[in-house]
């Protein structure tokens, strides 16, 4: 089945640090990947749609300069949380769809990255 690998699984760092999270589709190509954030006991919130070879599409209220997205290949998207602060602490999850199998495919999720900013 479709596998999405996300790394790292856990980050603890000081306020002001920038943190990069990688999302890879291991056995399929993904022209589009999605980045979500989830606070404890709350719903998944879509932050942005990452598009291979072009700019990401950000949801309303998400700062594009704060959350930098790069989708340089058909199997890799990265999310960089720049100058992270304690309020950025959350569970960040990426997902991807198989681009070669049509538009009705489900999204497959990575295992998520738990980010804790001290």
Partner 1 sequence: QKEVEQNSGPLSVPEGAIASLNCTYSDRGSQSFFWYRQYSGKSPELIMSIYSNGDKEDGRFTAQLNKASQYVSLLIRDSQPSDSATYLCAVKTTSSASKIIFGSGTRLSIRP
Examine residue 80 and tell whether it contacts partner 1 (CB under 8 A).
Answer: no
Asked if residue 99 lies in contact with residue 33, where contact means CB atoms within 8 angstroms, the answer is no
* DSSP annotation of 70: E
No. of H helices and E strands in the chain? 0, 11
Which residues between 20 and 79 bind partner 1 (CB under 8 A)? 32, 34, 43-44, 46, 49
Kindly state the smallest distance separating residue 49's Cβ from partner 1, in Å.
Answer: 6
* DSSP annotation of 82: T
Interaction site with partner 1 (CB under 8 A) = 6, 32, 34, 43-44, 46, 49, 91, 93, 97, 103-112
């Amino acid at each position: 089945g479709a596998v999405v690998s996300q790394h790292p699984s856990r980050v603890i760092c000081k306020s002001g640090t920038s943190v990069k999270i990688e999302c890879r589709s291991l056995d399929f190509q993904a022209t589009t990947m999605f980045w979500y954030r989830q606070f404890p006991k709350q719903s998944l919130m879509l932050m942005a749609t990452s598009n291979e070879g072009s700019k990401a599409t950000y949801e309303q209220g998400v700062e594009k300069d704060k959350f930098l997205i790069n989708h340089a290949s058909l199997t890799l998207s990265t999310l960089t949380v720049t100058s992270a602060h304690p309020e950025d602490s959350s569970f960040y999850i990426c997902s991807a769809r198989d681009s070669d199998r049509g538009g009705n495919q489900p999204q497959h999720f990575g295992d998520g990255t738990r980010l804790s900013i001290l």
